[in-house]
Amino acid sequence: MKYIIKERKSRIPGFRLLSLRFRFKDSTWDYSLNIKIKEGSFNSSDKRIKNDLVNTIRLHNILDLVDRTKLSMFSEGYGYIPKDEYKKRLLTALTEKGLIYVEQNEDIGNRVLHLSDYIDEYAISRQKSFLMKSSTGTTYKRLGSKIKEFDKSWDISTTDQIKLKSFRHFLISKGLSIPTINLMLVRLKTVLKNYSQYDGELPSKVITSPHFEKLREVKQKRVYITLEELSRIYNMEINDPKLSKARDLLLIGCYTALRVSDWEIKPTDISDDKTLLTYRTRKTGKEVSIPLFPELKVVLERNGWRSPILKENQITDLFRQLCKKAGINRAFKTYLVYPDRTEEKIGQAWEFVTSHTCRRSFATNMYLEEMPVSQIRVFTGHANDKVFMNYVQASDTEISRQVKLNALKKVFNNEKHRPN
């Protein structure tokens, strides 16, 4: 048994209707989906409907049952799928899921669209259009999981202030950290705005709800890699090819201040004389130009003037292995802030390294070397000094000691102050 999605005429000008045509060994069967779409909005290659996540989700739910029913019959030993038996089973499955009723009634007031389904489809469609990184998609997946845990039957069209307040309290009760809760609230607001703009209507008070306001965050101390430690990593002997890639990727991050989403350097980003890297960042669209000083030049050259490629879910683990091997084991203390408590975490520095450590390391090291903040921001792309200073992870003691040391060096290296 095979099937294809067919577009057929609608009585309304400018619209089309979708249906399924099944081809069996002995006959065919047309099943009307009653999904009304704008003419030219259906993409048959990926089975998506442009700017209509509601109907895309409906279609995918039906196609999922179509395939599951076929596989179920094959697993029972059917050599081929008989039309009458398949039709009976599929219609039963669609009825159990409530899809028969939806397909036969075009009144959208009776349609139930689960918020968790909409979130999943939103993330998938954005990633397929290269508008979202897979790591960002993971944050939406976590949100969808929490939505299901809270209320798996949450109908997106009925979202109101009471629901948002209850969900916010639910997240707090689960013991999640404040940054995690805040990120989930931001993601949820984005999804509801998208639904209200393209797929349905929500009261404006929902989108501007005070329950989306962020919980107060306390600035956490995060680890950074010092210039001496970077030199140690640069000079390491590494035989493991994957760890060697991780080393070069970490060095590129620490030497360029590029975000993880921008670790996609290509030969065309390098100037002809191999002295400058020019890159347009994904997040802000800003163009940054970074000098290729000797160590960075060596790292890029041995990788064919490209960034090494590693799976995103492996990077943090490999970076920590690398830093542990490099002996970055100085004591480090930080804390996790929850709405109702604060937990202290103590360990060795390598245990706290993540992919974002690279960007913080660049900002902190350049600041300690007394490069003016306005100049460092040319590389980091931060909008203002306040945002930039959140990336400086050195303690007040470290900053004071380094600034005084640099001041003394300038004095004693000055010819006028040297003894005869």
Each of the 420 residues of the chain gets a pLDDT tens digit; together they read: 888 898 877 767 778 888 888 888 878 888 888 788 888 888 888 888 888 888 888 888 899 999 999 988 888 888 788 888 898 899 888 888 777 643 333 444 445 788 998 898 888 878 877 778 777 888 999 999 999 999 999 999 899 999 999 999 999 999 888 889 999 999 999 999 988 887 778 888 999 999 999 988 777 788 899 999 999 999 999 999 999 999 999 999 999 988 888 888 999 999 999 999 998 887 777 888 888 888 999 999 999 999 998 888 899 999 999 999 999 999 998 887 788 788 888 999 999 999 989 988 988 888 888 788 788 888 877 777 777 777 776 555 555 555 555 554 554 455 444 444
Instruction: List 7's β-bridge partners, or say none.
Output: 18
Residue 409 confidence (pLDDT): 53
Bridge partners of residue 331, in order along the sequence = 348
Report the alpha-carbon distance of residue 264 to residue 280 in Å, rounded: 11
Distance of CA 216 to the CA centre of its chain: 23
Q: What integer pLDDT is reported at residue 398 of this predicted model? A: 55
Contact assessment for residue 222 and residue 357, using Cβ atoms and an 8 Å cutoff: yes
Q: Which two tokens stand for residue 25?
A: 């060994």
Task: Pick one of 2.40.50.140, 1.10.443.10, 1.10.645.10, 1.20.140.10 as the CATH number of 227-395.
Answer: 1.10.443.10
SS (H, E, C) the chain: CEEEEEEEECCCCCEEEEEEEEECCCCEEEEEEEEEEECCCEECCCCEECCCHHHHHHHHHHHHHHHHHHHHHHHCCCCCCCHHHHHHHHHHHHHHCCHHHHHHCCCHHHCCCEHHHHHHHHHHHHHHCCCCCHHHHHHHHHHHHHHHHHHCCCEHHHCCHHHHHHHHHHHHHCCCCHHHHHHHHHHHHHHHHHHHHHHCCCCHHHHCCHHHCCCCCCCCCCCCCCHHHHHHHHCCCCCCHHHHHHHHHHHHHHHHCCCHHHCCCCHHHECCCCCEEEEECCCCCCEEEEECCHHHHHHHHCCCCCCCCCCHHHHHHHHHHHHHHCCCCCEEEEEEECCCCEEEEEEEHHHHCCCCHHHHHHHHHHHHCCCCHHHHHHHHCCCCHHHHHCCCCCCHHHHHHHHHHHHHHHHHCCHHHCCC
In sign, the C-alpha dihedral spanning 244, 247, 251, 253 is positive
So what's the pLDDT on residue 248?
95
- Looking at residue 78, its pLDDT comes to 81
Residue located via tokens 């019959």 = 73
Q: Does the pTM exceed 0.85?
A: no
What integer pLDDT is reported at residue 266 of this predicted model? 93
What is the Cα–Cα distance from 50 to 14, expressed in whole angstroms? 15
How many CA atoms lie within 13 Å of 10's alpha carbon, on the beta-carbon side? 18
What own/partner pairs with CB < 8 Å and gap ≥ 24 does 7-14 have? 7/37, 7/42, 10/36, 12/36, 14/38, 14/39
Question: CA 333 to CA 348: how far, in whole Å?
Answer: 8
**Longest C-alpha distance within the chain, in Å?**
106
